[in-house]
Amino acid sequence: MVASIAVTVLGSVLLVVALIGCVVPVVPGPLLGAAALFLVSLAGGWSVYAWPVLIGWTVAAVAAQILDNVLPARAAGRAGAGRGGVWGSVVGMVLGSVLFPPFGVFIGAFAGALVGELAFNRDNTDPMKAAVAVFRGTLGAIVLKLAVTGAIAVVFVRGAMRLF
């Protein structure tokens, strides 16, 4: 019983980090959320969730993580942004999250994309359009990751409640 409590607490901590990771760049929030589901299932002797449920949520987490990388680049490409705008957005998110939490992620993504476009894609006639597109793609990816990880959190809590 003590071991299952410890594993469930570890899963809960992992889930909190997962939710934070949906907004903070580099931390794979949905994947950590899926790992938390495996931990609560382990705590229940693998009887909390059937394997297809665990696999389904893992697939959803992997898809959200992949789209996190694809959406900003796709939005940038459609708006004529270059790699400078995309990388500027990523650097801006990291700096913004460190310097101005929690909203610095959003401000940093936009500012970084704009600076990246101005500095590295001088052929772009409308760098503001590109920066807005990168920002929208980044915001869309964050919302998607939060939705998947939030749903995983609900499933986690329901499973943990079954244990105790």
Its domain, for residue 28, covers: 2-163
Comparing CA positions, the residue from 47, 53, 44, 50 lying closest to residue 164 is: 44
d(CA 118, CA 108): 15
Q: What is the number of domains present in the chain?
A: 1
User: Exposed, middle or buried, 127 (CB in 10 Å: 0-12/13-18/19+)?
Assistant: buried
Convert the pLDDT of each residue in 56-90 to its tens digit: 999 999 999 999 888 877 887 788 777 888 788 87
> Is the pTM above the cut of 0.85?
no
Convert the pLDDT of each residue in 85-118 to its tens digit: 878 887 888 888 888 877 787 788 889 888 988 8
Distances (CA, A) of 142 to 2, 80, 109, 148: 36, 22, 12, 10
Convert the pLDDT of each residue in 118-162 to its tens digit: 888 777 778 888 888 878 888 899 999 999 999 999 999 999 999
- Alpha-carbon dihedral sign for residues 49, 50, 51, 52: negative
